[in-house]
Amino acid sequence: MNKLAKGSLAAAAGTILLLGGAGTFMSWNADATITGGAVAAGHLRLLPSEGPATWEVNEQKVEDISAFRIVPGDVVEYTTLVKLEAEGDNLTASLELTDAAITATPGDWASEALSAHLEKEAMLELTPESNRITSNADGTYAINAGSGTIVEDVLVSVRLEFPFAAGTATDEDAMNGSVDISDMSVKLTQTNTNNPQ
């Protein structure tokens, strides 16, 4: 056999060896069990609590608010006791009135005007014995429940302010109007995301 033929055979054999080895890989793997744990969610609730509800107008107690007639300049405050229940290591929440908390008498333009004039806000007043709920400068509340559960009685106050504007007649459209707060409710909502990104 001549040298050219021998070289061709050697090259072909090398190609076969390379192709055969191309599909063969060696790999090792292993696994191990590590100790994990369960992740559980906390909760945030406002529950009705049995307790007296009071009405004040300009910081004077009013026994029957339905018989009282407010005028511009009056501040009406309703206070009741509710139970706050929370569990969670990082909770910050805000308190607000629900959209349907204060409604005008349907179809009465004076009542709609009165509702529009009233400045409405809800405030959370903590009972003296509370030491795990603190107010923040931005109006939210830090709820430091940690791994336990907070069950606290808190006072919820709702203020209705009828602003007084001297020398104007802008409030006259609200004369003889009325608003209904019999279905008033407040909502406590988590405000922090605890997401560093």
- At 9 the pLDDT is 52
Report the SS3 class of residue 80. Answer: strand
Among 183, 156, 124, 122, residue whose Cα is nearest residue 54? 156
Token pair, residue 59, equals: 């910081």
Q: CB of 46 within 8 A of CB of 84?
A: yes
pTM beyond 0.85: the answer is no
- At 195 the pLDDT is 62
Give tens-digit pLDDT for 152-162.
788 888 888 88
Q: CB of 96 within 8 A of CB of 157?
A: no
Mean pLDDT computed over 28-51: 79
Q: Can you tell me the distance from the alpha carbon of 102 to that of 162, in angstroms, rounded to the nearest whole number?
A: 14
Give tens-digit pLDDT for 42-88.
788 888 766 778 899 999 999 988 888 888 888 988 888 888 888 87
User: Is the four-CA dihedral 188, 189, 192, 194 of positive or negative sign?
Assistant: positive
Encode burial over 145-176: b for 16+ CB neighbours within 10 A, e otherwise. beeeebebbbebbbbbbbeeeeeeeebeebee
Q: CB of 133 within 8 A of CB of 142?
A: yes
Give tens-digit pLDDT for 99-154.
666 788 778 888 888 888 887 766 666 654 556 777 777 767 777 766 667 777 88
Among 103, 95, 106, residue whose Cα is nearest residue 160? 103
